[in-house]
Amino acid sequence: MQAGTEHEFVVEYSGDVRVLRGERPPGKLIAYSRAFLLMNRRALQFYFVKGSRWQSVSLERTRVGARGAERAVVSISAAEFPSGITKREIQIITLIAAGLGNQQIADRFGTSPRTVSTQVERIMRKLGIRNRAGLAAIAVDGSLIALPIQGSVQDLVAVGAIAIEALAESLDHGTDPIVVGVPAQSSATRPIRIGTIAGLQGYSLGDAVEHLCGVDLAVQTINAAGGVLGRQLQSVTASADLSDAHTVRKAMGQLVDAGVDAIACSYVSAENRFLLDMAADFGRPFLHLDTYQKHAQLVTDDPFRYGIVFQTCPSEHTYSLAFTRFLRDLSAERAMERVDRVLGVVEMDVPSATVADEGVLAAAEAHGWDARLRRRVPVESVDWQQEVAGIIAAGISLLLVSHFSLDEVIALQRELVRTGYTGLTYHVYTASQPGFLQELGAHADGVIWSSSTTLTESAMSQRFRRDYALRYGTEPGPAQASAAFDQVQLLAWSWRQAGELDPEEAAKVLRSTMYRGLNGTYFFGGHTQTPLSYPEETNDPTLGLPLLTSQIHAGRSVVLSPDLFGSMKNCRLPW
Our count of domains for the chain comes to 3
Residue 544 lies in a domain: no
Q: What is the pLDDT of residue 322?
A: 92
- Let me know whether 135 and 162 are in one domain: yes
**One-letter amino acid for residue 536 of the chain:** E
Residues sharing a CB contact under 8 Å with residue 354, sequence separation 6 or more, in sequence order? 316, 347, 402
Out of 15-29, 271-285, 462-476, 517-531, least confident range: 15-29
Which pLDDT band, with edges at 50, 70 and 90, does 275 fall under? Answer: very high
pLDDT at 462: 93
Q: Do residues 194 and 264 lie in contact, with contact meaning Cβ atoms separated by under 8 Å?
A: yes
Q: Is the pLDDT of residue 420 over 50?
A: yes
Say if residue 311's pLDDT is above 80.
yes
Asked if 223 and 232 touch (Cβ cutoff 8 Å), the reply is: yes
CA distance 262 to 243: 23
Asked if residue 128 and residue 12 are part of one domain, the reply reads yes
* Domain end among 180, 202, 233: 180
Tell me the C-alpha distance between 565 and 508, whole Å. 32
pLDDT of 16 over the 70 cut: no
> Does 211 reside within a domain?
yes
- Mean of pLDDT values over 226-239: 91
CATH classification of the domain holding 36:
1.10.10.10
- Above 60 in pLDDT, residue 1? no
Same domain, 385 and 494: no
120-134, 162-176, 306-320, range with greatest mean pLDDT? 306-320
- The reply to whether 199 and 279 lie within a common domain is yes
pLDDT band at 176 (very low <50, low <70, confident <90, very high): very low
* Residues 463 and 446 reside in one and the same domain: no
When mean pLDDT is compared across 164-178, 453-467, 550-564, the lowest value belongs to 164-178
Q: What is residue 483's DSSP assignment?
A: H
DSSP string, 504-563: HHHHHHHHHSEEEETTEEEE--STT----EETTT-S-GGGSEE-EEEEEETTEEEEEEST
Give the containing element (helix H, strand E) for 320. helix 317-331
Same domain, 145 and 19: yes
d(CA 421, CA 437): 18
* Higher-pLDDT residue of 171, 213: 213
| Helix, strand or coil, per DSSP, at residue 9 | strand
Quick one: DSSP state of residue 335? Answer: G
Least reliable range by pLDDT among 53-67, 175-189, 491-505, 506-520? 175-189
Interacting residues of 3 by C-beta distance below 8 A, sequence separation 6+: none
Q: Which long-range contacts (CB under 8 A, 24 or more apart) does 257-260 make?
A: 258/193, 258/195, 259/67, 259/193, 260/193, 260/194, 260/195, 260/236, 260/284
* Spatial distance between the Cα atoms of 218 and 234, rounded to a whole number of angstroms: 10
What is the mean predicted confidence (pLDDT) over 391-419?
A: 94
* pLDDT tier for residue 175 given thresholds of 50, 70 and 90: very low
Are residue 6 and residue 134 in the same domain, yes or no? Answer: yes
pLDDT the model gives residue 180: 35
User: Average of pLDDT values for 109-118?
Assistant: 92
Query: Based on the domain organization, do 555 and 416 belong to the same domain?
Result: yes
Residues 474 and 501 in one domain: yes
Domain that residue 4 falls in: 1-180
In a domain, 208, yes or no: yes
Q: Is the pTM of this model over 0.75?
A: no
The answer on 290 and 203 residing in a single domain is: yes
The CATH number assigned to the domain holding 406 equals 3.40.50.2300
> In this structure, is residue 250 part of a structural domain?
yes
How far is residue 508's CA from residue 502's CA, in Å, rounded to a whole number? 10
The pLDDT value given to residue 172 = 47
575 found inside a domain? no
In a domain, 539, yes or no: no
In a domain, 199, yes or no: yes
- 440 and 562, same structural domain? yes
**Number of alpha helices (DSSP H) and beta strands (DSSP E) in the chain:** 19, 23
**Which residue from 495, 38, 449 is spatially nearest to 227, judged by alpha carbons?**
495
Total Cβ atoms within 10 A of residue 464: 23
Quick check: is 281 in a domain?
yes
Residues 39 and 91 in one domain: yes
- Give the three-state DSSP class for 244: coil
CB of 483 within 8 A of CB of 214?
yes
Q: What is the pLDDT at residue 215?
A: 93
Task: Tell me which DSSP letter residue 205 carries.
Answer: H
Contact in structure between 36 and 12 (CB atoms under 8 Å): no
Q: Average pLDDT over the chain, rounded to whole?
A: 87
Number of neighbouring beta carbons within 10 Å of residue 379: 18
